[in-house]
Amino acid sequence: MRKDLEAAGKIVTGSCIPSAPCVAIKLRGELRKNAEALEAADAVIVLACGLGVQSFKDNDKLGLPVFPACNTTFGAVMDAKGNFYEKCSMCGECLLDLTAGICPVTLCAKGILNGPCGGMNKGKCEEDNDRDCAWVLIYKELEKNKKLDSLREIIKPKDYKKAGKPRKLLMTKTLK
């Protein structure tokens, strides 16, 4: 990014990689360490998800214009090669205890909560033949852990009001 910007005639005054851009105290520490570079900047480019961009904006005392350099499409886990995989839809009604830690809301193309659809074929999803059926994965994991009885429990339909936007979580006690 630095090379591309400089090749386009821009002056890069500095860069940093915060260990946790969404954790305000850690981000503020990085901002303090890089105060001189920030004071010399006209704007900031943030190579993080939308939360990182907003966290920077909320903690920037200089009021610099901030530009996102990534187009966030989901929250995910990252593998060793740098590939991102969505694992959680953050629906507000976690059922991972019933599904062996595999989320059917996110990993099933149809978000089915109580077993595979009629289109599953040889363990693959009818929506994408290269994709494992989430319910086959759940079954295999429950079987391995001798917890197949949990499949007898009917999962109620989701309460989508819990996933309404924007959300907030207020702490009832002060953390020390």
Give the model confidence (pLDDT) of 90-113 as tens digits.
887 888 988 999 999 999 999 999
Cα dihedral across residues 70, 73, 78, 84: positive or negative = negative
The pLDDT, as a whole number, for residue 54 is 86
Q: What number is the average pLDDT over the span 108-130?
A: 93
Distance CA(21)–CA(41), nearest Å, equals 19
Are 52 and 21 within 8 A, CB to CB? Answer: yes
Is a pLDDT exceeding 80 seen at residue 42? yes
